[in-house]
Amino acid sequence: MVAVKDMPGILGLSNSQSLDIYYKMVLSRAASVRQRLLQRMGKGSITYSGEGHEATQVGTAYALKPGHDWVFTYYRDVGVVLTIGMTARDVLMAFFARKDDISSGGRNMPSHFSHPKLRIVSEGAPVATQIPHAVGTAFAAKLRGLDEVSMVWFGDGATSKGDCHEAMNFAGVHKLPVVFVCEHNQYAISVHWTKQMAVENVAVRAQGYGFPGVTVDGNDVLAVYRAAKEAVERARRGDGPTFIEAKTYRLVPHSSDDDDRRYRSREEVEEWSEKDPIIRFQAYLEGHGLLDEKTRDELTKKAAEEVDAATEYAENAPLPDPETALRHVFAEEEVA
């Protein structure tokens, strides 16, 4: 029998990688909290938080090769982009819609990430549209004989869209190197999952499209990483797609424009706060001698300092020139 202590090693993770995963989760939480507070101070238009989703986001993204594989996120995925290599500064530059924001030069909504060098593909606001984009990119990789995997993240609500079904069908038919990650946080804004689907586990749908679907505890980062690693390996060796359903919970309202007291009880939120994925992984690492109090405090301080520095830099960075507002909207004449 495998000792729990050895689990990171079994998964091919060194001790320093385990701590790196923990750090990415802490950084992701700090970046989400900061944006939420700044928005309340009137310093940003809107924000979507990843609080509660850290194990799902970091655990899946950690299985990819950054800059080689293709990343298709949605607005909640701050933990994904920080794991792939975007910085807290990149995230805050987008939040403040600054001229040098790598995601869109301050044009897209905050939390709609993009980073060409890291192959984080620009996302649109309509729910689920990134899913066929990921499948199309996986199709291109297959046609070109490349070993590049596409991973795409979306919520439980997104699985009701035709885009999701069409994408899964096409991926199954062509056995494409794509991994579908459903961040099942139980709500699509105010709509509970029981009004979205008639199945207990949405992962069972994968079977209907001819590939495996797995359901994992989305608050257990090692379980998520294991599922993602297997799915990426399967995709890379040409065996086709996998659907991962990670059951989790968003600990705060849907966005800064939402009052979640109108559709979920405080008791429910409290219950899930006790399953906080960061505290859980921290307890795991401490309990198995991989993290002590000193290192934990250092990592927490490092994340806070990174987010502080990012906030200060971004807040003081220049806005886009208003003259450029229509750039990338209409065709422009070539300038010789």
> Which residues here bind ligand TPP, judged by CB under 6 A?
76, 125-127, 154-158, 183, 185, 187-189, 254
Q: Where are the beta strands (DSSP E) in the chain?
A: 70-72, 150-155, 178-184, 187-188, 191-192, 213-217, 242-247
* Residue (176 or 181) nearer to ligand TPP, CB: 181
Q: How far is the CB of 59 from ligand TPP (least distance, A)?
A: 16
Least separation in angstroms between CB 248 and ligand TPP: 9
* Both tokens assigned to 250: 């968003």
Q: Please identify, using beta-carbon distances, which residue of 23 and 249 lies nearer to ligand TPP.
A: 249
Using Cβ positions, the residue closest to ligand TPP within the complex turns out to be: 155
From CA 246, how far away is CA 248, in angstroms rounded? Answer: 6
Annotated catalytic residue within 29, 36, 184, 250: 250
Sheet holding 70-72, edge to edge: 70-72, 150-155, 178-184, 242-247, 213-217
Which is nearer to ligand TPP, 183 or 245 (by Cβ)?
A: 183
Assess whether 250 carries a catalytic annotation. yes
Measured from the CB atom, the residue of 90 and 260 that comes closer to ligand TPP is: 260
328 catalytic? Reply is: no
Long-range contacts of 143-150 (CB under 8 A, 24+ apart): 147/177, 147/236, 148/68, 148/69, 148/70, 148/177, 149/64, 149/69, 149/70, 149/177, 149/178, 149/179, 149/232, 149/235, 149/236, 150/69, 150/70, 150/71, 150/72, 150/176, 150/177, 150/178, 150/179
Q: Give me the sign of the Cα torsion angle 281, 282, 285, 288.
A: negative
CB of 155 to ligand TPP, least distance (A): 2
| Residue among 263, 288, 296, 313 flagged as catalytic | 263
- Least distance from ligand TPP to the Cβ atom of residue 111, Å: 11
Of 21, 167, 38, 142, give the one whose Cα is nearest residue 82.
21
Q: What is the smallest separation between the CB atom of 36 and ligand TPP, expressed in angstroms?
A: 15
For ligand TPP, which is the closer residue by CB, 229 or 254?
A: 254
Nearer to ligand TPP, 84 or 246 (CB): 246
Q: Are the CB atoms for 73 and 85 separated by under 8 Å? A: no
From the candidates 53, 205, 254, 280, give the one annotated as an active-site residue: 254
Q: Pick from 59, 28, 114, 130: which is nearest to 284 by CA?
A: 59
Residue 229 beta carbon to ligand TPP: minimum distance, rounded to whole angstroms = 23
Q: How far is CA 216 from the centre of its chain?
A: 16
174 a catalytic residue: no
Catalytic residues, which ones? 250, 254, 263
